Amino acid sequence: MAQFGLLYVGEPQFSSPEEGQSNSQRYMEWLNGLGDAIVNRGIPMGPPTRVTADGVSSEERADRLTGLTIVEADDMDAALEMAKNCPYIEVAALDVVQIFEMNM
């Protein structure tokens, strides 16, 4: 099986605390429903600081990476099917990427 990263992009925007709580509960149910496919349940991420040859920047970006879940799936199509059911996509974006091992 291949590994895939489900990358949470952007800060979720809720119309009320109740909506946020409901989404969070449905997210946990979805996550628990993935069962043995889960390699890493989740890695929340704080705001980034970008380092380039031109310097360092802490510029706020709406499309920043906010978290990561790692799953195993037969292929990209199977990983996309998992992602399609994630409640996070109702309030922000989810990118799916295949993870490759580096043979060094």
* 30 inside domain: yes
* 104 inside domain: no
* 80 inside domain: yes
| Residues of the domain holding 6 | 2-99
∠38-82-73 over CA atoms, to 5°? 55
Number of independent structural domains in the chain: 1
Alpha-carbon gap, residue 104 to 100, rounded angstroms: 12
Q: What is the pLDDT of residue 58?
A: 85
Amino acid at 24: S
pTM: 0.88
Q: In the numeric block, which tokens belong to residue 91?
A: 């309030």
* 91 inside domain: yes
* 47 inside domain: yes
State pLDDT tens for residues 29-68: 999 999 999 999 999 999 999 899 999 988 888 889 999 9
Which CATH number fits the domain that encloses residue 26? 3.30.70.1060
State pLDDT tens for residues 60-92: 888 899 999 999 999 999 999 999 999 999 999
Q: What is the pLDDT of residue 61?
A: 81
Nearest one of 44, 43, 29 to 85, comparing CA atoms? 29
Check if the beta carbon of residue 8 is closer than 8 Å to that of residue 92. yes
